[in-house]
Structure 1
């Protein structure tokens, strides 16, 4: 996250100070667990405040689940973890109706998705049918089983991890599933200094054991409400739409950004502006978030992948980078 101390310090009201304190506590809590990855912690907090869902994709052992756990434990709400496996059933996720012989009627047994923050570990190791159980949950915040609908807790966030699809035992996430994640990111390997510090500090115990809630759901609701109220000017709106529409006409893409991507891009930018101490969105908020918010939704053409000589994800990221560079930035 960019330095925003001076912005927050000038003219802060009491509510501004409370919001700043709440955001900083979460960020600090997550960073105590994830060594040398401040941007990863920043994106996770941005998505949380923007009421989105986060997808973390990378090779095993780089801290994907650790980041999800640290974020979950820092929030004073209910937490649930789902370990996605090939034999996991949709009813394990959403819940099931069980006949109660004593009462003579069916009783709904909530699934693991009924929590404020749901960790979906290795989501692409489950079958597409089980993955699709999250579609309604993530989009509408509810579950429908046997014709009846149950509302999920509010706030509600899914933090899912997945291994690269090139690895054995994985299924590619459907486009409809990927599009419901507000942002996607990779952890990457730590730098040598951070890895040395990790080696020395984790000999006795895991740092996740010391993480405790640093804000409650009421404070989180205040952050979310403040993010919604951040101002998005008409000129910045046009910049946002310029980036979105450029992906739909780009010759290297088979699938551009959806209208859902437009809405989530705006919400993420508002959250980033709030966390940077501003009541308005600037073009930098959009350019900083363009790759995390847009790249995972795009489908590059086979020719573009072959020409770049990289993976689909890296090709999509490069396309987004070129689109942002070519889109005129509003001035004034």
Structure 2
């Protein structure tokens, strides 16, 4: 299985999409770095900044429109979705462009200064009222989760048959990449042992909450973008942030914050471990498909060295 290649399209096609929805005048159309599954371009129109994203994954942005409405209505700095559509086999979305640059471009000191605000935003996302919806796992365009339980989602997400998704024929990775079947199975077995700790908790989860999807002006967080949004235990977002920024003592900062607020988190260690296994297992498969062997090795070693229940 070859590494995934993002879709490509001509500048004239991009210009036609923008003119269709926004009229003429789009300028400074520039490709943006980042975005592993989408081709993303920034542009300006009438002095305001926007982005347009293209993906060949079915229904790629329909849920993002729902999430955009959900989070922005709660005052969380997530870009508003202005238009969705298709051009040939590609889905596209036109979004507001948030100010700032990737948090990853900030110095370690600047990142540390913004950790309290990051934790506050993560907590606010987890507290978004999802009581009018049901289900776990992937969020559908109507706001409901696909699966009836967290366990059902975990099993389906790691099943061999992923026809029609990004992970179609992913078992080939055991033969064609650095993905090791015995390691994958070991971590999957551990993940299932921790399901009972995560399963009682149903929150909005960004699902890709790291410094490349967090925007900053160097002093404050200006926006949260993208996401592999699901319903589940919000500690999944904490695990993601910690694994991507291990030098920032994210877990200690989070626990200190909760302690100051007199909030006791039941089964915190077990829930966090389950979250590490869930995202880490997904990471192993993703890094193998992308050919990122160094990231694969670091994640593999971290997961195997976690305390086993």
TM-score normalised by length of structure 1:
0.25
Could you say which structure has the larger radius of gyration?
1
Greater RCO structure (CA 8 Å; 6+ sep): 1
TM-score normalised by length of structure 2:
0.26
